[in-house]
Amino acid sequence: MSRRILIVEDEVEQAGVLKRILTGAGFQTLLASTGGATLRLVREARPHLILLDGTLPDMPGLQVCRILKQDPELSWIPVVLLTRRCEQERILGLELGATDCVVKPFSTRELVLRVKAILKHFSPNADVRVLTLGPVTVDVHAARVRVHGAPIELTPIEYRLLVCLLRAQGKVFTREELLDGIWGRDAEVQDRTVDVHIMRLREKLQSAGEFVETVRGVGYRLGG
């Protein structure tokens, strides 16, 4: 199945160029021209990547990025920010959780290469409603977790940690990667914070907590 890319661009000509280039590269494309339409489409269509213009008619692209990265069901979707503005905006976009930031005008060929490189590192789970590992099941649309069929209550941070690990089973996450992805790059938290939340997550997962493995000196992964 080809990957879906949501193009968020209010300039019709530029949106058409991006659609043509990406379709030619084998991607499915969706279009949005406002922040509000973007948020609706992301929830409905679950794209595999978002190309997000920094300047939209109803809200800044940075605000859209912030909203997406604060939603545990959507925060895993890579966002590439497209901006005409200064280095400061580019840095702010990365701090908010954007995967990459491209300054206009840009080479469309380079953009396609960047998109392909990013998607190599992200699991195509946008279509997956239920994630499972052993007795653990997570309904990502309803944000519900069950162990051996019984519902358990997780905090928002614990839930995001579990979903992050489930979406990339076997991948080793460093503490820094988890801090950036779950708490955000501007959060003032320490590595020990990750350890504490992992410990609590293991306890709540009961016997399935053993699947959350410690990789000594590096971080954590979800085994099976």
Ordered by start, the domain boundaries in the chain are 4-122, 130-222
* Alpha carbons 9 and 115: distance in angstroms, whole number: 16
- Is residue 29's pLDDT more than 70? yes
- Give rounded-to-5 percent helix, strand, coil for the chain: 45, 25, 35
| Mean of pLDDT values over 129-146 | 85
| pLDDT, position 208 | 93
Residues 138/144, Cβ–Cβ less than 8 Å = yes
What would the CATH number be for the domain defined by 4-122?
Answer: 3.40.50.2300
pLDDT band at 121 (very low <50, low <70, confident <90, very high): low
In the predicted model, is pLDDT for residue 84 greater than 90? no
- What is the per-residue pLDDT for 224? 67
Pick 124 or 29 by higher pLDDT. 29
CB-CB contact of 137 with 131 (8 Å): yes
Between the CA of residue 195 and those of 14, 66, 146, 180, what are the distances in Å?
45, 25, 22, 14
- 207 φ, ψ (degrees, to nearest 5): -65, -25
| Residue range 130-222, CATH number | 1.10.10.10
Using a pLDDT cut of 70, give the percent of the chain over it. 90
pLDDT band at residue 19, thresholds of 50, 70 and 90? very high
- The pLDDT assigned to 20 comes to 96
Helix 61-70 vs helix 35-45: angle between axes, to the nearest 10 degrees?
Answer: 30
Burial 183-214 (b: 16+ CB within 10 A, else e): bbeeeeeeeebbeebbebbbebbeebbebbee
Across the chain, the runs of DSSP E, i.e. the strands, are: 4-8, 28-32, 49-53, 79-83, 100-103, 130-133, 136-139, 144-147, 150-152, 173-174, 212-215, 219-222
Between strands 150-152 and 136-139, the pairing is: unpaired
Instruction: Look at the pTM and tell me if it is higher than 0.85.
Output: no
pLDDT at 97: 79
Q: Is 153 strand, coil or helix?
A: coil
Over the range 72-85, which residues count as b (16 or more CB within 10 Å of their CB) and which as e? bbbbbbbbbbbbee
Other beta carbons less than 10 A from residue 112's beta carbon: 17
Q: Which residue has the higher pLDDT, 74 or 17?
A: 17
Q: Which residue has the higher pLDDT, 106 or 142?
A: 106
